[in-house]
Structure 1
Amino acid sequence: MPLGSGGSSKVYLAEHNKLKDYRAIKCISKTRSTPPSLLQEADLLKNLRHPGIPIIYDVEEDNEYYYIVEEYVQGLSLLRYFEEEQEVSQEVILDFAIQLCDILDYLHLQKPQPIFYLDLKPEHIILSGGQLKLIDFGMATIGCRKENTVGFTCEFAAPEKYSGKDMDCRTDIYELGSVLFYLIFHQYYPGKSKKYPPRRKVISKKLEKILIKMLQENPNKRYQSIQALRMDLLKLKHHGSEGRHLKKDIFIMGCAPRVGTTHIAISLVSYLNKQQSDSAVYVEENSSGLLRMLMETFMDIKESGGIIFFDHFVGIPQYGESFQVEVNAPLQVKDYGTQRLRLCMSAKDEAERELLIYVMDGSCWLWSKAAEELKELEEMFEVKVVLNSEDAVLKKRLENYLKKDVLSFNRQSNPFYLSKQRVQFWESFKKGGIVN
């Protein structure tokens, strides 16, 4: 069944004989001049696997046509959706924006070079069963693009498309801002020099502030990564939700080197992000350099804009004063290692007592020093002691010595792996301070 046609191609709906599943088949004529973008798009998408990106199943050809077999995406474009809905809540807008950030983040983190979409507009975004899908990758490019582009939609285009300047992740950020502006105000973004419409009641001042930053004419004044934007959106989403919410910061410190402080901090961040995507970020507030060492051990770890990503983990190494990374996550897990003085100085800046995880192991000769340290720390923090061992006898001895409850952590070699035991540990720990 024909789905549509345009230029040198036609699209048909087909059913897989065995799987009884629908596919879209794009037929591109060889007799006419074939736009390179049609085949480049298939080549670009063939190895990508993300719920927000259509799957390319196969590419074939005969004497007359190229055939691109891809996922059939059913649903409404965001243009149609917002035309029908008219008034949409900020919660829905945030959900859509975060989903789009997730798709763009996946593209921007591709190796060996990032993929930039460079043609965001409501017609290219399909709402399919609650999941947004990005279609039409004809303008997408691998790595930065500098030459002037043709065929782009000027109403949503970033200023650098007209000037021949570099187009990169910040171009996608601007164009996402243009799309959100259109969906919120039902008009195209008028640009810096024209009158800005009054803020609609449906959005808060905080969302408007995020939008203004996305739409800066100068790319250097926009968000510098999609992760930073997504963290601000998530922070706003959590702040606006009713009921319990995450604490702002969780501090973590060990009674001595090599007791497992960083290991436990990584596990916590991984758990929180598995429960709620991008709800937490690990911040290395010590000079051990352990996060960099882990990058050499786990080869699949990715880095973008100074932020490290691995499975559910998001972390920022200690770079020193010369290089600072903006942190916008709703919750920061700050690893101070054994640097108690630095930890205490940070506590003085906090308006309320934050949660401190104090890590110990079976080194009994350190318990006296740890007990004295805990007395001081408990005056500034809400302290939870974690024993990096499942030895029940050792746990009981430590509880008797400290005269306080101790939580027993499931020690494993891989800090990123969330075993059933670790998930159960963090679930029980959750009741003791992570959630207000």
Structure 2
Amino acid sequence: MFDKYRIVKILGSGGSATVYLARHIKLESFRAIKCIRKDNPFYKDALREAYILKNLRHSNIPIIYDIEEDPRCSYIIEEYIEGESLKSFRLNHRFIQESIIINFSMQICELIQYLHKNEKPILYLDLKPENIMVSNHTLKLIDFGTAVYFKEPEKYTHTVGTKGYAAPEQYKKGKIDERCDVYGIGMLLFYLVTGRTFDWKINEFKNIDKVSNCSKKLKGIINKCLKYYPSHRYQSVLHLYNKLSEIRQNSLAANLLKSDKSLTVSLAGSQNRIGTTHTALLITSYTNKYVANSIYMEQNDHRVVKSIIQRYKNVKEKRHIYTLFDCNMTEVQELDKELLKNYQIIVKDFGVLTQENLIDFLDGNIRILILGAKEWELSNSERVLNELIEYKDITYLFNFVDGKVFREAVKSMDGKNCSRIPYVVNPLKITHNESISELIKEILGHSYFNRKKSKIFKFIYQRIRSYTVDQEKGLLGEEKPDINT
């Protein structure tokens, strides 16, 4: 075909196209070729899909390589996705762990947020399991046949979407906006949890509340997504993503502590002198004082720990671990595992993010990247963002920016989890600060602050609950009691 491809087999056939598996003769790699007959009544819609896709670049969207044609047909040559549909995945699993459901739904949220915030915003409008491929636990959205540009009202004059998955207003000529896709994500969540679709005529929302393999918080999210009236749903995919992220962070923190493992927090910066070490020490000091035993581990060659212990006289040292004010720290990059068992939170400072330390950085349970937003910092910020474009679950912190600059920076982050670092003079000596508390909660998840069962969680819960009273009495300067006694 076109002196480039050899057809291997038919992958599928539908109302608008036949899809072939082909091998590129010279590159010896597989391609999916979608053949659309020009006399097909859906020809223009199918071709419009290709032109939408060719301008999109996202890890969850197949790449469009080329468009060919002959007198009878047009051919869209795109990336071949090896895997199974989300529908097949669900049918092959009687039960799916909630962590996998959260992971899948957050991937979809990131993708839909990317479409909504595109230069020409796009509404997908037909989220269903058949349109999603699962390839090594990465989801790929493969059918954009009903996708429309947000500013094309003429596209809304007819019904779009698949019944059982699309929002009710898509069938009643109501207002079509991003809340339709919020409903679609909710429907996917409903399907992944229950294995069936939702039908307004035969089902009620309370059915999801009867499912045993679903947490109360996830049920609440699904119920809110599937509200009949758009104004009652989450008003943006970003809002939904943040709610799912809270569940994931809480679950991660709780599971790690239940298993007596340490939580590793990796930090890196887009450039030197962007505040990576300051932030790492701040997180270590705050969590060590108010949350759980924490230690700072220097994973770069800046020798900050050595400078600190030379400058201060009241540093305590035991087995290469130094304690100053509220912070435990070490310059040993590979500390003895028996020593590390004494710390529930390990904060690793990798300095500037490079190809050499990228893998170690990504190995952390929680990954934090420090960015700059000033004009002379943007090129470095863009560099590291491009390096991390395929990686999920990274928290991005902006340093040395005011509220206005921060809000402008967040607009360009495609819905990524972003926060602003609060100003703290001395990161080694902490006083309780509401903005720091909110930042730590967002980073670690609320599980650290809400559980009561173990001594450490009981202590944390009581400290957070009584912090307002303590603050008024001036008691927050007290040292953290030994929770192991």
Change in Cα spacing, 1:108 to 1:262, as seen in structure 2 (3 Å) is farther
Residue 39 in 1 paired to residue 43 in 2? no
In the TM superposition, 1:288-303 aligns within 5 A as: 289-291=404-406, 295=408
Contact 1:10 1:27 in 2 (8 A): yes
SS at match of 1:154: coil
Deviation of 1:213 after TM superposition, in Å, equals 1.4
Change in Cα spacing, 1:41 to 1:349, as seen in structure 2 (3 Å) is closer
TM-superposition CA deviations, 1:327-381 (whole Å, max 9, x none): xxxxx5453589xxxx9895399699999xxxxxxxxxxxxxxxxxxxxxx9758
| Residue from 78, 93, 106 that aligns with 2:114 | 106
TM-superposition CA deviations, 1:244-294 (whole Å, max 9, x none): 5599xxxxxxxxxxx9889977963689996974554658999664436xx
Q: How many residues are paired up?
A: 318
Paired amino acid for 1:196 = K
RMSD: 4.1
Residue in 2 that maps onto 1:137: 144
Contact 2:16 2:40 in 1 (8 A): yes
| Residue from 323, 335, 345 that aligns with 2:422 | 335
Residue in 2 that maps onto 1:126: 133
| Residue from 215, 238, 256 that aligns with 2:249 | 238
**CA–CA distance in structure 2, aligned partners of residues 351 and 39 of structure 1:** 48
Which piece of structure 1 moves more, 24-33 or 100-109?
A: 24-33
In the TM superposition, 1:11-90 aligns within 5 A as: 11-90=19-98
Which piece of structure 1 moves more, 28-37 or 114-123?
A: 28-37
Contact 2:62 2:141 in 1 (8 A): yes
Deviation of 1:135 after TM superposition, in Å, equals 1.2
**CA–CA distance in structure 1, aligned partners of residues 411 and 438 of structure 2:** 29
TM-superposition CA deviations, 1:284-309 (whole Å, max 9, x none): 999664436xx5xxxxx5xxxxx433
**CA–CA distance in structure 2, aligned partners of residues 310 and 353 of structure 1:** 21
Residue in 2 that maps onto 1:268: 370
Deviation of 1:26 after TM superposition, in Å, equals 1.5
What is the aligned-residue identity percentage? 34
**CA–CA distance in structure 2, aligned partners of residues 20 and 108 of structure 1:** 36
Change in Cα spacing, 1:170 to 1:183, as seen in structure 2 (3 Å) is same
Deviation of 1:90 after TM superposition, in Å, equals 0.6
Residue 116 in 1 paired to residue 123 in 2? yes
Residue in 2 that maps onto 1:168: 177
Change in Cα spacing, 1:199 to 1:282, as seen in structure 2 (3 Å) is farther
In the TM superposition, 1:149-298 aligns within 5 A as: 149-150=158-159, 152-191=161-200, 194=204, 196-197=206-207, 198-241=209-252, 242-243=255-256, 244=262, 268=370, 277-280=392-395, 289-291=404-406, 295=408
Deviation of 1:59 after TM superposition, in Å, equals 0.7
SS at match of 2:65: strand
SS at match of 1:49: coil
TM-superposition CA deviations, 1:383-406 (whole Å, max 9, x none): 9xxxxxxxxxxxxxxxxxxxxxxx
Change in Cα spacing, 1:37 to 1:81, as seen in structure 2 (3 Å) is same
**CA–CA distance in structure 1, aligned partners of residues 416 and 109 of structure 2:** 17
Which piece of structure 1 moves more, 346-355 or 135-144?
A: 346-355
**CA–CA distance in structure 2, aligned partners of residues 131 and 352 of structure 1:** 29
Paired amino acid for 1:157 = A
Contact 2:238 2:415 in 1 (8 A): no
Which piece of structure 1 moves more, 118-127 or 25-34?
A: 25-34
**CA–CA distance in structure 2, aligned partners of residues 382 and 279 of structure 1:** 33
Paired amino acid for 2:204 = K
Change in Cα spacing, 1:139 to 1:217, as seen in structure 2 (3 Å) is same
Residue in 2 that maps onto 1:421: none
SS at match of 1:93: helix
TM-score (norm 2): 0.56
Change in Cα spacing, 1:240 to 1:150, as seen in structure 2 (3 Å) is same
Contact 1:121 1:179 in 2 (8 A): yes
Change in Cα spacing, 1:119 to 1:213, as seen in structure 2 (3 Å) is same
Deviation of 1:167 after TM superposition, in Å, equals 1.7
**CA–CA distance in structure 1, aligned partners of residues 417 and 440 of structure 2:** 25
Paired amino acid for 1:17 = I
Change in Cα spacing, 1:285 to 1:13, as seen in structure 2 (3 Å) is closer
Which 5+ residue runs of structure 1 have no aligned equivalent? 248-258, 296-300, 302-306, 316-331, 356-377, 384-436
Deviation of 1:165 after TM superposition, in Å, equals 2.1
Deviation of 1:42 after TM superposition, in Å, equals 0.3
**CA–CA distance in structure 2, aligned partners of residues 158 and 209 of structure 1:** 18
Change in Cα spacing, 1:348 to 1:85, as seen in structure 2 (3 Å) is closer
Contact 2:37 2:43 in 1 (8 A): no
SS at match of 1:96: helix
Change in Cα spacing, 1:68 to 1:308, as seen in structure 2 (3 Å) is same
Contact 1:282 1:335 in 2 (8 A): no
**CA–CA distance in structure 1, aligned partners of residues 97 and 48 of structure 2:** 38
Residue in 1 that maps onto 2:299: none
SS at match of 2:57: coil
**CA–CA distance in structure 1, aligned partners of residues 438 and 111 of structure 2:** 36
Paired amino acid for 2:100 = V
Residue in 2 that maps onto 1:309: 412
